[in-house]
Structure 1
Amino acid sequence: MIIEKSIWKKYFEGFTFFGCAIFRRQGFCFVLVEEKGSFDILPKTRILTVIADKAAEAGIRRAQAEDLSFATIACGLDPTEYVVVDTVSNVYSANGKSNQFERSIEDLISLKTPVGAMVTIRKVARVAGKVYAIGSNRRLYRREGIEKWVDLHAEGRGAPMPADYTTSRTDWGRVLGFKDLSAFSETDFYAAGGAGDLWRFDGKTWQQCPLPTNAQLETVCCAGDGKVYVTDLHGNVWAGREEKWTQVATSELSWGSQPVDAFWFKGRMLFGAQEGLYVINRNKQVVPLGDVEEGVPSSMVTGRIDISPDGNHLLTAGPYGACLYDGETWTRLFSAFDYR
């Protein structure tokens, strides 16, 4: 527990954790969503930057908005900053010198596709040091600084679209990616989403990968063992690279419990959901991490995942708190149950 009860009540109480990002062992940022009994009005979204090695409130910076919808967060290195983007491209950023709500991506560049549909931002992620906004209709937007976003399609480096994309088909948003992005390097990207829609980008050209499924894809991770891991809506996992793919784990997770984050950490794949962490067991099944090893914190304080840029620390946040993991020791940063 790194904060006092009075600080918890002022900054955290009444909100649940929705996302997290980490820059260093004692520096992280959280996206929290107001607990509401009614969904007629959007809940407030609160963004908290926490510097744990500063005293009390001096280490906490708060921002709040009433119009953010399913915002996600990433920690970029070029430039160094936390970036929050919601589904309709509203943006918040924070660094060591400033923090601000910015003009939306849509206000800066067009998010309208050739068929007239608006791109939905499904996630932000750090990829090869840069923050990317990952969108529907195979759209990727690279961040270059405050209110500076580059559409890869506008650069002539966007993923190809189907030959019949200009038809009036109404389900392109379901069929096409993207929903997640990962990379081995600046010239070896993998993007996934849609109905088995997996692509590799070598920095110049895109190649569609023959993944043996049409299931809705959720996550992709370029892992430390040289393989790329892909999960679907129910948590099933495929692994491979370029032209060769095979299913490596099955899952029966219900909708809402499926992995939304996937990271390679300390020699193994870990999957994060809104509640709880998952791993592949010896029987090639996706199971809660607590089923295969002792000492894992509960799903109330684990779930969403981010890895520090140096690769040494994993930050995870569940609905009611957050934990830090170095590969050997779990440290509970805080839990709502500690302050009752």
Structure 2
Amino acid sequence: MVVPIKFVNACAASDDIFIIATIPDGLPAGAEFTRLYYLNPSTEDVWHYRDWSNHQVVSVCLRREQSSVKRAGCALTGDGDVELANSVGQTYEKIADAGLASERALGDVTRIREIGSTLFVCGGSGQVYRRDDTGWTPIDDELVATGKNALELPQLNAPISNETLRQFTQTLRHLPNFNDIGGSDETDVYVCGNGGNLFYYDGTSWRKIEIDTDAILTAIHCVSSDEVWVVGQDGTVLFGNARTGFRNLGEFFPGGYIWSVRHFGGRVYLGTLHGLYTLDGSNVRLVSSGKLDGRAQIIALDSFSDTILWIATDRHAIRYDGSTFTFFEHPDNVNY
């Protein structure tokens, strides 16, 4: 029996390899399971996969090869379990402070990225971790403190008023719950999240970047230290950097979201649940080609170089070489 699968997150491991985290449809409530695919069109087994039972991956990224470090595909669960996998095998690590079951109990982590030559992870309640020689270290004291202070209700002898509760509820919308992290190197790092929260890390301390929106911010792409793209709720697109500030280029999809952003081939691509778009001046344009149309649910965009753009929908994958979109239908999702 063929069970359809849903794509959760994806990343480019090279111009020829696309790593995709998936879960099967109909997984029982409370159950956790991930099937990690390594799509490689140049091999006989195009959709090679490996299962990670009892774990639910929320994010994947590539750790690039360094002089003393082998290339590896990295997978992260919300509880802070990390898998590092390559041709040699798999190793597993735990971010001890992450997840609700940890001593800090700050909630799930959401995204893993390599910035410079270092792995970073971000998540709920202001969590940010950096992987160094001693393991995974939190670098988020200022951010977590901001969240905790915002959650403190006033100590009153009288019952709390409806207005106080309303203000408290509004505060919850602006907590630093982070959805993505990115940067050009270890001293040029950004995190973005709910309530228009955009923070910058210079390798020593954090500061909040003031922007003219309180939209939920979902994704970051740092092309360089000067060119940073941030997207999110209502189709918000921000452009700039921490030194000169960010401009809000528009809210292109009221009531909708941009879930991924990538600069490729001189264009900025925006992934939404109603198609792939390019930013065209002060407007956006739907990309239509074969299976790419206004019904395509784009969950991830990534590139290893400026030669190939990989695109993950919720069910299939597409490879774009700057002129041709090549569609890769997943065999378990033929009818989707």
| CA deviation string 1:147-177 (max 9, x = no partner) | 9322224xx7x65743972753575585214
Q: Which residue of 1 aligns with 2:251?
A: 250
How many residues are aligned here?
A: 314
% identity of equivalent residues: 17
Q: Which moved more, 1:315-324 or 1:170-179?
A: 170-179
Q: Please say if 1:325 is aligned against 2:309.
A: no
Matched residue type, 2:35: R
Cα distance change, pair 208–93 in 1 and its aligned pair in 2 (3 A):
same
Q: Please say if 1:81 is aligned against 2:69.
A: no
Contact kept in structure 2, 1:136 and 1:178, CA below 8 Å: yes
Identify which of 105, 111, 115 aligns with 1:127.
115
| CA deviation string 1:241-271 (max 9, x = no partner) | 225332212223545xx22222211112212
Q: Which moved more, 1:319-328 or 1:129-138?
A: 129-138
* TM-score, normalisation: structure 2: 0.78
**How far 1:323 moved relative to its partner?**
0.8
Instruction: Map 1:210-221; keep pairs closer than 5 Å.
Output: 210-221=210-221
Instruction: Map 1:1-340; keep pairs closer than 5 Å.
Output: 13-36=3-26, 40-42=29-31, 44-56=33-45, 60-68=48-56, 71-77=58-64, 79=69, 80-99=71-90, 102-106=92-96, 109=97, 117-144=105-132, 148-153=135-140, 159=143, 161-162=145-146, 165=149, 168-169=152-153, 174-223=174-223, 226-242=226-242, 243-255=244-256, 258-273=257-272, 276-282=275-281, 284-290=282-288, 297-298=292-293, 303-336=298-331
Contact kept in structure 2, 1:235 and 1:286, CA below 8 Å: no
Matched residue type, 2:106: M
Provide structure 1 residue ranges, at least 5 long, that are not aligned to the other structure: 1-8
Q: Which SS does the other structure have where 2:204 is aligned?
A: coil
Matched residue type, 1:49: Y
Cα distance change, pair 46–337 in 1 and its aligned pair in 2 (3 A):
closer
Matched residue type, 1:148: G
**How far 1:98 moved relative to its partner?**
0.5
Distance in structure 2 (CA, Å) of the matches to 1:151 and 1:95: 26
Q: Which residue of 2 aligns with 1:4?
A: none
Cα distance change, pair 301–74 in 1 and its aligned pair in 2 (3 A):
farther
Q: Which residue of 2 aligns with 1:6?
A: none
Q: Which residue of 1 aligns with 2:159?
A: none
What value does the CA root-mean-square deviation take over the aligned residues?
3.5
| CA deviation string 1:298-329 (max 9, x = no partner) | 46766133433333221111122101112222
* TM-score, normalisation: structure 1: 0.77
Distance in structure 1 (CA, Å) of the matches to 2:143 and 2:283: 32
| CA deviation string 1:73-103 (max 9, x = no partner) | 1112154211111222233331121135x35
Distance in structure 2 (CA, Å) of the matches to 1:185 and 1:315: 23
Q: Which SS does the other structure have where 1:60 is aligned?
A: strand
**How far 1:296 moved relative to its partner?**
7.0
